[in-house]
Amino acid sequence: MALRRPPVLLGRAGERQVLDRVLENVRGGQSAVLVVRGEAGVGKTALLRYCARQASGFRVARIAGVESEMELPFAGLHQLCAPMLGRLAALPEPQQAALGVALGLSSGPPPDRFLVGLATLSLLAEVASERPLLCFVDDAQWLDVATRQVLGFVARRLLAESVAFVFAVRDSTDESELVGLPELLLGGLPDEDARALLASGIGARLDGRVRDRLVEETRGNPLAILELPRGLAATQLPGGLGLLEDHALPRRIEESFRRRLEALAEEPRRLLLLVAAEPVDDPLLVWRAAERLGIGPSAADETEGLLAIGESVAFLHPLVRSAVYRSAAPPERRAVHRALAEVTDAGADADRRAWHLAAAAAGPDEEVASELERSAGRAQARGGLAAAAAFLRRSVALTRDPARRTDRALAAAQASLHAGAFEAALALLAAAEAGPLDALERARVDLLHAEVAYAQNRGSDAPLLLLRAAGRLETLDVRLARDTYLDAWSAALFAGQLASAGSLLDVSRAVRAAPHPEPPPHPSDLLLDGFALVFTEGRLSATPVLRRAATAFAGTEVSVAEVLRWGWLATAAAVYVWDYDTCLAVATREVRIARDAGALEVLAVGVNVLGQAAALGGDFGRAALLVAEADAVTEATGARVAPYAALVLAAFRGQEPVGSKLIDATIAEATAGGQGTAVQYAHWANAVLMNSLGRYEEALPAAVAASDDTPELFVATWALSELIEAASRTGNPELAAGALDRLLDSANASATDWGLGIAARSRALLSEGDAAEGLYREAIDRLSLTRLRPELARSHLLYGEWLRRVGRRVDAREQLRTAHELLAAIGTEAFAERARRELVATGEKVRKRAVEARDELTPQEDQIARLARDGLSNPEIGARLFLSPRTVEWHLGKVFTKLGISSRMGLHDALPSPDQEAARA
Ligand SMILES: Nc1ncnc2c1ncn2[C@@H]1O[C@H](COP(=O)(O)OP(=O)(O)OP(=O)(O)O)[C@@H](O)[C@H]1O
Ligand SMILES: [Mg+2]
């Protein structure tokens, strides 16, 4: 006995067209997403039904959120995916595992939510490869948070899968997950359609004036048009309008439903309440609970059409559910929840049962509270962090014992933090602070406060808060205190010079004064001690410690968890001691581990570090791939990581005006976000770029800015060599001399070929005669023992420039030719051009390098083409770039067309391998 009204849709011509176009696009092999937004009762669901009727040839999947305080992890996603799980085996293994755990099908480590998103995308694409797939997500405002996050992620990444997603959502809510997707705003019906609807609803009983007033007051809201006249007694109709004018329309409709409820008999009313309290659409369950409450089956026929129970359970409209639940007295509600708990399976549906028990509790109840705690644990194990937080919050409310209450409030705050619910986390911390706290709990409160600040914004006052928390922990738990200090250091490093308080120096001093753990030190202890020494004792004492730390992180004695948490700090330690190979090894390991674990926030930092290393090594092709991956992962996760790799690549490539734009944008954004180190990086990148272009007057201030701001950091040291180059070309010897002293300190402390090579080159720039020549040669010798090809090439360039100035034209040509060839081969365009100009000045004729012929490919196409050439399958490429394999295939199709080839095989010839690229240039 369906309640569905006859499928007549009045008006809405424009809206129908939009939906028709969605279907048309999908039939044509594209994907489409639409969010239909509008107030309650305005006709969103009706439009979705229209769309379903038009969707012949589609496979249709429908899910709907249900208004309920209950938060069950991935409940909506389960509804969506359950019928498709036959295809799960087609997904890459890590995605299968992630989705399996999220949906509670298998156990495993809690999956990263973005990996669950990617798995869902792949699954939908796989299903849609048979025939187009249309997914309706009605009442999206009531979906569980985990599902909304996943679907928002999927919707943003659909392109060529033949999947349509149509969401319906109330406009009064702001689900950030859906913000920015294409929208259709639904307003009321135009007067004429509204009048027609009114006539169809209550017929000819109304006179024209009343009818017009009704249409006006309802502003064309179809549900209001159908419902309000019904809610008012016939006698009230003419005069009763406008009585409730001061209320928003949905409230008025709800009140109207409430009046209809009041007219019902006791039994059907309690049946309605029972159904309203249960989010799962399960008629059998409802009847079993009804029996316990002494409600007979006939009650369903006495609800005046407000409720229908057949194969499924359906209210006339979702507002009936709110009206029923909200108007019920608390004891009535508790009674139905108790009945529902009694009939809910304690094994299979333990979490739902726990929630009903909680709602049935009249006051604190330890048994139920600990039941909820267990539910939270299960939710957490599935990656359902929002649900875990919700269970724990409820558990807090039911806990009487003050100590336990504090404990649970802290756990709930932690879960809320991890779920990204920062406000909730802060509220729980306040609740915890209101109770009695022992010293360790006090410290945990501080730590959580700090972590919330860090998660909200890396550059904020997180370092200070972490520092305080670490200090409090010192006497309670040395290990935890040390770990917290390292996190504080990490936060302070992001903030750099912009840290308000809790600077790198503050953290370092505190670390030096803090108690030491039992020997032997962990690699993380070495990291912490080494960094602290940099700022307190100086680089001579710091260098050996940091070198040991970095080397340890490159090996296997460091656990996966430690690499994920501090790997990037170890790469910073490696470059601090001028150890490129170790930096590369740690970054490579970190990225591999982060990819395998699906730890995407870590990956966002890791690919940035690895991309920088690739650029410094002169492997620009690989660097570009990593930059693109960094873009994809930061975009997908919203991680706030500055574009470090892109900056290094742009600086060395010497592409203008692209490089300057990136640098300016980074300075602006990082300054606003309090990420001081990114600002410093951008200044350094600017110095390199300006030097490459021969614009030394502009390079100089940039290099000064980068080397002055937090002078202890390696970026500052790198900037010194740029400063010396610019100063020596602009006649600023005194500036250069000071910089040289600092550079030598750093290079001599580490004594690696990289550092000593750069130092020799910089000294050469400030020397004359044989001394200069010997130093240039030393620089070239040393750097040719490293992988830092761009720096080697630059040394040939500077040597050649010097030779030309001292009149040794033939020798100059030899160096400049080598420099030009190397620089052009690497792709350092501006430096290559600088070498070419110098060569021409020696009298040699040099062709400008031909512009590469491949630039018709978009950056994304280029990247996909290179990955395909390197042998990655479409799913593998998709996993790297957060796209479905179908979308990868679609991009590849475009690549083939543009390159005039017909298969992946052709890519090898159409796109030169990195070696060939080098050889050709
Ligand atoms: N264009 C229309 N022509 C005829 N009837 C309509 C039209 N639009 C909506 N209705 C009817 O109005 C009522 C409310 O519409 P609907 O349930 O689609 O609203 P909604 O926007 O989905 O509301 P909610 O946000 O509460 O889910 C339904 O009975 C529906 O059949
Ligand atoms: Mg609806």
In the 3-class helix/strand/coil scheme, how is 474-518 assigned residue by residue?
CCCCHHHHHHHHHHHHHHHHHHHHHCCCCCHHHHHHHHHHCCCCC
Rounded-to-integer distance, Cα 369 and Cα 366, Å: 5
Q: Is the CB of 198 under 6 A from ligand 1?
A: no
Q: What confidence score (pLDDT) does residue 110 get?
A: 85
Nearby residues of 884 by Cβ (< 8 Å), 6 or more positions away: 121, 122, 124, 125, 157, 158, 159, 160, 161, 878
The values of phi and psi at residue 502, to 5°, are 75, 45
Lookup: tokens for 709: 């701001």
pLDDT of residue 243: 47
CA of 39 to the centre of ligand 1 (A): 10
Helix locations, 496-559, DSSP H:
504-513, 523-536, 539-554
Q: Which of 885, 882, 459, 414 is nearest to 637 (CA)?
A: 882
Distance (angstroms) between ligand 2 centre and the Cα of 42 equals: 8
Strand partners of residue 35 = 167, 183
Q: Which ligand number lies closest to the CA of residue 38? A: 1
Nearest ligand 1 atom, CA 48: 18
Alpha-carbon gap, residue 457 to 74, rounded angstroms: 27
Tell me if 9 CB under 6 Å of ligand 1.
yes
577: which residues sit within 8 A by CB, 6+ positions away? Answer: 543, 546, 547, 550, 749, 750, 752
Per-residue model confidence (pLDDT) at position 710: 87
Give the ligand whose atoms come closest to the C-alpha of residue 41: 1
- Read off the tokens for 102: 């999220």
DSSP 232: S
Q: Which residues contact 218 (CB under 8 A, 6 or more apart)?
A: 188, 194, 224, 225, 228, 249
Quick one: pLDDT at residue 376?
A: 93
70 CA to centre of ligand 2 in angstroms: 20
Structural contact between residues 564 and 590, judged by C-beta atoms closer than 8 angstroms: yes
* Best mutation site among 45, 167, 197, 320 for ligand 1 pocket (most ligand atoms within 8 Å of CB): 45
Pocket lining: 305 vs ligand 1, CB cutoff 6 Å: no
Tokens 């939710």 belong to: 379
- At residue 413, the pLDDT reads 93
**Is the distance from the beta carbon of residue 317 to the nearest atom of ligand 1 less than 6 Å?**
yes
pLDDT for 633: 82
Q: Measured from the CA of 42, which atom of ligand 1 is nearest? A: 21
The Å distance, Cα 25 to ligand 1 centre, comes to 26
pLDDT given for residue 210 in this prediction: 76
Ligand 1: does its nearest atom lie under 6 Å from the Cβ of 46? yes
User: Half-sphere exposure (CA, 13 Å, Cβ side) for 674?
Assistant: 17
**Is the distance from the beta carbon of residue 800 to the nearest atom of ligand 1 less than 6 Å?**
no
Ligand located closest to 185 CA: 1
Cis peptide before 657 (omega within 30 of 0): yes
Protein residue closest via CA to atom 26 of ligand 1: 40
Q: How far apart are CA 768 and CA 805, in angstroms?
A: 11
Q: Whose CA is nearest to atom 8 of ligand 1?
A: 43
Which among 11, 4, 5, 6 is positioned nearest to 195, based on CA atoms? 11
In contact, 202 and 229? CB cutoff 8 Å: yes
Residue 124 CA, ligand 1 centroid: distance in Å? 28
- Nearest ligand (C-alpha, residue 138): 2
Instruction: Report residues of the chain scoring pLDDT below 50.
Output: 1-4, 6, 234-235, 240, 242-244, 246, 850-854, 918-921
Rounded to two decimals, the pTM is 0.77
Task: Return the structure tokens found at 581.
Answer: 């190979």
First to last CA, the chain: 75
What is d(CA 647, CA 665) in angstroms, rounded to the nearest whole number?
11
User: Within 10 A of 806 (CB to CB), how many other CB atoms are there?
Assistant: 13
CA distance 418 to 113: 11
Residue nearest ligand 1's atom 16 by CA:
43
> Which ligand is closest to the CA of 4, given by its number?
1
Q: How far is the CA of 845 from the centre of ligand 2 (A)?
A: 74
Distance separating alpha carbons of residues 689 and 659, to the nearest angstrom: 8
Choosing from 317, 319, 321, 322 the residue with most ligand 1 atoms within 8 A of its CB, the one to mutate for a pocket test is: 317
Residue 901 three-state SS = coil
- 8 Å CB contact between 706 and 683: yes
**Cα of 188 from ligand 2 centre, angstroms:** 14
Given a contact cutoff of 8 angstroms between Cβ atoms, the answer to whether 326 and 257 are in contact is no
Q: How far apart are CA 60 and CA 55, in angstroms?
A: 8
CA distance 463 to 887: 41
Distance 221 CA to ligand 1 centre (A): 8
Position 547: which residue type? Answer: R
Calpha distance 701→567 (Å, rounded): 33
C-alpha of residue 17 to centroid of ligand 1, in Å? 18
Evaluate: CB of 42 within 6 angstroms of ligand 1: yes
Q: Report the candidate in 618, 616, 614 with the shortest Cα–Cα distance to residue 628.
A: 614
> Are 286 and 268 in contact, with CB atoms under 8 Å apart?
no
Radius of gyration of the chain (CA): 33
